[in-house]
Amino acid sequence: MDVLDLLKSASLLVPEESATGNDVTVDDVWEYLAHDEWEVALGLLEELGDVRPLPAVFWASMAAAAEELRLDRSAAWCHWREGEVRNGVIRADLTLRAPSDGGRRSPVPGAGVLRPMWDIGHRTPTGEPAYAVAHLWVEGVPALEPGGRAPVRLAPLTPELWGHLRPGQVITLHETRPVGGTAVLLEVMLPE
């Protein structure tokens, strides 16, 4: 399939009544597609994907279109969202420790490449934390600066370990033994 076909296919999966906060609808997408403004149409479809849950095939088509357009971050985002449809969504408000407090000195890359450990409350038989690993996506920015704060999405490597978590709970990020940051859970929707 070429880019136009992929975007048309994805747009057909968006309910007609869907609209973003800026009143963008699927009709707007079709208008951009008619004028070969594929990158704009892709961006609008990404926004419409936040209005209501859409099937994994929507995100797979979007990822393929972004790859064809060589939009690496959009492709990674669409693959991420496809994974969330299958494995669930965990969103949190993450605050990194400042370098002066022993936190990392370089920014956290935002596009899901970092796989830190998280203390989510499990313990080993000796009482030590039993860490769980999750990919980290920083929402809205390419990277999170040391000591910074941003909403994030987590993709656990073993989602079943995370099922006990609820919004409002605090979990801690670890790249090494000391705490690298704290995250307040905003949304936890995992398959049962």
Say which CATH number the domain at 179 has: 2.40.30.10
Domain span including residue 64: 3-86
For the beta carbon of residue 132, count every other beta carbon within 10 angstroms.
21
Residue 192 has pLDDT above 80, yes or no: no
Average pLDDT score, the chain: 94
Residue type, 46: E
The pLDDT assigned to 191 comes to 80
Do 96 and 22 share a structural domain? Answer: no
Which of 86, 105, 127 represents a domain boundary (last residue)?
A: 86
Do 138 and 75 share a structural domain? Answer: no
Q: By the 8 A CB rule, do 53 and 84 touch? A: no
Do 184 and 101 share a structural domain? Answer: yes
For 3, 80, 136, 183, 184, the CA distances from 90, given in Å and listed in that order, are 30, 12, 10, 11, 11
Which of 86, 105, 135 represents a domain boundary (last residue)?
A: 86
Q: Please, which pLDDT band fits residue 65 given cuts at 50, 70 and 90? A: very high
Do 96 and 66 share a structural domain? Answer: no
Three-state DSSP at 103 gives: coil
Overall number of domains in the chain: 2
Do 184 and 92 share a structural domain? Answer: yes
The pLDDT assigned to 178 comes to 87
Do 102 and 56 share a structural domain? Answer: no
